[in-house]
Chain A
Amino acid sequence: MSVSRRGFLAWMGAAGITALGSQAGATPRHFKGYPQSLCVLHDITLCIGCRSCEAGCNKVNELPPPAVPFTDLSVLDKKRRTTAKTYTVVNKTAASGQEKKPIFFKTQCNHCLEPACASACFVRAFTKTKEGSVTYDASVCVGCRYCMIACPFEIPTYEYEEPLTPRIMKCTFCHPRVTKGLLPGCVEACPTEALSFGKREDMLKLARERINKYPGRYVDHIYGETEMGGTSWLYLSGVPFRNLGMREDLGTTPAPELTSGALATVPMVAALWPVLLTGIYALSKRREKILSGDKQNALAQAVAEANAKSQAALTAAMDKAKREKEEAVQKAVKAALEQSAKKTQEQ
């Protein structure tokens, strides 16, 4: 028995288990984010590399004190990644010939609209909340770190130094603060408003307006509008995003759409597989039988129709050819006769 992905998902739907897959599961059409969900627009042209956002993040999330104080900007000389102790980092591009000054930009979890981490997680430790954040529940995490592999932005990190209760660590979009109506720590700390906070649709509008009003200042692209199906962090830049080391090869398809067929159903596989399969198999077999009966009838009819049509066309074409041939012969005969008549006249 061959089972298509669509067919398999239809089973799941039939069995009423989509509740499990509704948030990170496969959706045939593009999910544009929860309405009114929140978002940050990072205008890279306004970032001055002061690391205030890092400090703000560290403070509100009560992360361990940094090895180098946040006022020390020499750390920017080396490319950094997020770690289990820093949810966000500011990086600097080397000043190249084209740009007179180095460009600073902030990196953290982009809070995808349809997160790859969540689709990879078989214990459903990640949730895309209606506020926009992708939150993590350490209590169910088994430490497989699939999320770290799944994330196209290489954001989730792991507390390798924690022997007993290691957790996945990543930006929470300050979910507890945001639900209280406060700004995320980094946004609040940014002195230049290189980070703007608001509803995603508003941030998209703002980004578009900035590009429209200052077309010379920005490249005409809002990073995160469609990348990986869209993210809750958006970026504007004055240089192509690839120059900043940001991936431009991600496409617009959300990760779960690529993987959910296999991954999102894993939890069910573990618990309910035998029970479900038996029932569903019987159900679907029955439906398939009915369907295939219908299908065969329809097919036979279509074939008959097509045959009749092509036969008619063939006959018409052959008739035409025959007619033409006859005409040509007649014409030739006529011409020959005329010619011979002429000749006899001349003689």
Chain B
Amino acid sequence: MLCIAVGLVIFALSAEGYKTPEQKADKDRADIILIDTSPVFGRGDKPPVAFPHDRHTEIMAEQKKDCFLCHLKESKPQAASAGPAPQPQSTERMSLKFKRLKDTNLKEVRRIYHDNCIGCHMSMAEKGQEFGPIICGECHKESGAYGSARKPSGMDNSLHFRHTKAAQNKCETCHHAYDDKAKKLFYAKGQEGTCRYCHKMETEENRISMPLASHMSCIECHRLGKEKKLEAGPVTCAGCHDSKERMKIRKVEPLPRMERQQPDTVFVKTLGKDEKADIPRMNPVPFDHKSHEGYNDTCRVCHHASLTACNECHALEKPLKEGNYVQLERAMHQWDSQKSCSGCHRRKQQPKECAGCHLFIPQGRNELSESCLKCHMKPLPDSASVPLTAEAQAGLAKRLLQSRVPVNGTYATEEIPEKVVIKYLADKYEPVTLPHRKIVLSIVEKMNESKQAGKLVSYFHDDKATVCQGCHHNSPASVKPPSCVSCHSRPFDEGNLMKPGILGAYHQQCMGCHEAMEIEKPKECVECHKERKK
């Protein structure tokens, strides 16, 4: 009985004595670091600790203390890159570990954490300040007690430009390569790539992981910049990993082009680098590299493994290991991959202004062979074969691209039927009058204004009747397409199971499109079908 009473008192005291900051909001924090020794030392007997890092940084700042209260200085390996911009000659850097440089053994590490965390909390308690947990269970909570709103961070082209400017175009500040023979890092001019090409999510041999590399280099540089009262990037967790904070990162507009000797126009190769041209192949694809740079935030969207031509790793006939066994045709057309041309173009069909029609087009690569020629353009009459030099190729690709004729819109307004009367369900309702012209014009307007789809619309909707085919599908594009009932006569046709009957066709098409385009009206049956007067 006494024990329980004492326990209760202690519990009450501990609950009263301090307050974990925003305890309830812990699940929404971007700065939760899981202090978990199990990957290094094996499973312990207590659950890992969810540590709110930014909260501690705030308190440090309030108390006019710096990062070195918790993080030790370590000597920088000579092999490391030329060093962060503000202090390129420094030989020391901040260790990312807490109060130690190495994970020696569990006993030692445990002692470091317990002594320092609890020690600091206790000293604050003695001073009568708000203090952190000092009882086991307050830190070592069962899993599920913590959660994280941490979003992966990364550099986009705009942020890269700001960094280039800050580093005065000295790419070697961050970029380096590894010399296998000399066993050290060096700067390879013109070979720069995304950090992630080498630094993977996990540390591999002597190649540190991406999280480690970025925290070591980015934060160190930002910290030194802040020390020198320069405009520097975030040093808090939330600054990079909180979705709201990330929105505050200033975008450069208009964004100058990145300089990496990339082509303006180029032919996308239809053969692997070692393959011979005698394999039957498609026309090479003229590609507007310059425009596509602007369509994406980063280069690594497409150049996911290196800043080289796709056919360096992907071959047409042979699945190559360096291409993760993905063949060239798949690499370009895999519809559900963001790295492929088709995949990215398909994603552009998803915004609501496009989804109304594109919703009904089956997924997968089953376009008409005609549409292959949209990218695999027929050669110009005066140049049937692709020239050999890169410059000549770029020139020809440019000419091909310029030969494209964009189509905006559809037939002249007076050619579009104004109203269409639908007389089905006439036993219950009055005939439905479809404002056909209004619908067509509004679709065309939304389509042309779509920022997401951009130039894709005017190029791929290459006929005045293409937009009509959103509804008048499966028949050749024409100003007078067959009426719906000519195909959708009866439901549950054993010969063509996928083809709905007339009621299904209308309701699925109209309502499906309205839902996809987020058109509020009509909500009730009677908004389309007027009740039949009896």
Contacts and interface: CB of A to CB of B under 8 A. Distances in A.
A212 B511 CA distance: 22
B20 interface: no
Interface string A206-238: 100110111110000000000000000000000
Interface string B494-525: 10011011011001100100010000000001
Contact of A192 (B364, B497, B507): B507
Nearest to B507: A192
A33 to B, nearest CB: 17
Contact of A193 (B363, B425, B501): B501
Given A48-B511, A101-B515, A215-B363, A193 B498 contact: no
A218 to B, nearest CB: 11
A325 B504 CA distance: 87
B508 A46 contact: yes
Nearest to A207: B497
A130 B491 CA distance: 23
A123 to B, nearest CB: 36
Contacts of A191: 425, 503-504, 507
Contacts of B511: 48, 192
Contacts of B295: none
Interface residues of A, number: 22
A198 B363 contact: no
Interface string B235-250: 0000000000000000
Contacts of A46: 504, 508
A213 B515 contact: no
A280 to B, nearest CB: 48
A192 B512 CA distance: 10
Contacts of B364: 212-213, 215
B362 interface: yes
A205 interface: yes
B527 to A, nearest CB: 13
Contacts of B492: 183, 196-198
A192 B362 CA distance: 19
Given A193-B491, A198-B492, A214-B362, A209 B507 contact: no
Contact of A198 (B497, B501, B507): B497
A221 to B, nearest CB: 18
Nearest to A52: B525
A327 interface: no
A324 interface: no
Contacts of A202: 494, 497
A91 B196 CA distance: 49
Nearest to A205: B497
Most B C-beta atoms less than 10 A away, residue of A46, A193, A202, A210? A193
B508 A206 contact: no
Interface in B478-499: 491-492, 494, 497-498
A55 B492 CA distance: 21
Contacts of B500: 193
B497 A213 contact: no
Nearest to A198: B492
Given A48-B511, A213-B364, A214-B363, A192 B504 contact: yes
Interface in A223-272: none
A104 to B, nearest CB: 12
A197 B492 CA distance: 6
Q: Classify the interface of chain B: helix, strand, loop or mixed.
A: loop
Interface in A173-215: 183, 191-193, 196-199, 202, 205-206, 209-210, 212-215
Nearest to A193: B504
Interface in A78-129: 101
B508 A192 contact: yes
A196 B362 CA distance: 19
Contact of B507 (A193, A199, A206): A193
Nearest to A197: B492
Contacts of B515: 101
A193 B508 CA distance: 8
Contacts of B504: 46, 191-193
B337 to A, nearest CB: 14
A50 interface: yes
Interface in B120-171: none
Contacts of A213: 362-364, 498
Given A46-B508, A48-B511, A193-B504, A209 B498 contact: yes
B491 A196 contact: yes
B21 to A, nearest CB: 27
A202 B498 CA distance: 10
B412 to A, nearest CB: 34
A193 B503 contact: yes
Contacts of A215: 363-364
B498 A210 contact: yes
B522 to A, nearest CB: 11
B169 to A, nearest CB: 44
A196 B504 CA distance: 10
Nearest to B424: A191
Nearest to B518: A100
A197 B491 CA distance: 9
A120 B507 CA distance: 42
Contacts of A198: 492, 494, 497
A212 to B, nearest CB: 8
Most B C-beta atoms less than 10 A away, residue of A46, A192, A214? A192
Contacts of B508: 46, 192-193
B507 A216 contact: no
B362 to A, nearest CB: 4
Nearest to A188: B491
Nearest to A194: B504
A183 B498 CA distance: 18
Contacts of B362: 213-214
A46 B359 CA distance: 13
B514 to A, nearest CB: 11
A307 to B, nearest CB: 50
Per CB-CB distance, the 7 closest pairs between chain A and chain B, nearest first, are A193-B504, A213-B362, A192-B507, A206-B497, A193-B500, A198-B492, A191-B507
24 contacts: A50-B525, A191-B425, A191-B503, A191-B504, A191-B507, A192-B504, A192-B507, A193-B504, A193-B507, A193-B508, A196-B491, A197-B491, A199-B494, A205-B497, A206-B497, A209-B497, A209-B498, A212-B364, A213-B362, A213-B363, A213-B364, A214-B362, A215-B363, A216-B363
Interface of B: 362-364, 425, 491-492, 494, 497-498, 500-501, 503-504, 507-508, 511, 515, 525
Interface of A: 46, 48, 50, 101, 183, 191-193, 196-199, 202, 205-206, 209-210, 212-216
Given A193-B507, A197-B491, A215-B364, 4 more contacts: A183-B492, A196-B497, A198-B497, A212-B364
